[in-house]
Amino acid sequence: MKHKPVIRKVRSEAERKICAKLMAGSDPWITLGITNEMILRTLKDPLHETFIVLIDDQIVGTFVLQEKGAFTGYLKSIAVKKEWQGHNLGELMMAFIEERFFSSGTNVFLCVSSFNKKAQKFYKKLGYQEVGVLTDYVAKGYDEILMRKTKGPVLKK
C-alpha cells in the first residue's frame, strides 16, 4: 500500500454521513433492511463511538464500538469500502479494536449474520469463537451469530 492508513474517530457530521453510506450500500445491512437513516441514528447515539480509516484523506473503512453495555467491549459494525476489501484493512481495524478493548477488559464481542460467510471466515481466522446464535435478532428470518475473543474471565484472581 503506497500511503499509510490512518485510524481516528469521526470528527464531523459529513464524515458520519460517509460512514453511514458506506454501510448502507453493502451487505449485511442491505439484506437485513437497515437503512442509511437507521445507521445515521446509531452513529449519532452517544453510546457508540465511530471510527474511520483514511487513506490519502479518503474514508476507506469504518467501525462502530460500544464500550459500555450488557457485553463490555462490543464491536457493533465494521465495513471496508468495496474496492479496498482484501487489502488487510479489516485486520488493521481489528488489531486497533482489540488493543483498545483488551487494554481495559478481557473480551471482544461481535455479531455476524449467518449468511455473511466471508465475515465469519475473517473473524474465525482472527481467533473469534462462536458463542451463541441469536434467532431473528436484527431482522425476522435471519440469525445473528454472537462471537467472542477472550483473554480470560472478567474477574481477576
Cα separation, 65 vs 78, whole angstroms: 9
Q: Determine the residue with CB nearest ligand COA.
A: 90
Residues 50-89 that bind ligand COA (CB under 6 A): 78-80, 85-89
Shortest Cβ distance from residue 152 to ligand COA (Å)? 24
Cα separation, 23 vs 36, whole angstroms: 8
Q: Is 91 in the site for ligand COA (CB under 6 A)?
A: yes
Task: For residue 91, give the DSSP letter.
Answer: H
Q: Is 147 in the site for ligand COA (CB under 6 A)?
A: no
Question: Who's near 56: CB < 8 A, 6+ residues apart?
Answer: 3
Q: Is 146 in the site for ligand COA (CB under 6 A)?
A: no
Cα separation, 40 vs 140, whole angstroms: 22
Cα separation, 30 vs 143, whole angstroms: 15
Q: Is 8 in the site for ligand COA (CB under 6 A)?
A: no
Q: Binding residues for ligand COA, per CB under 6 A?
A: 26, 28, 78-80, 85-91, 112, 116, 118-119, 121-122, 125
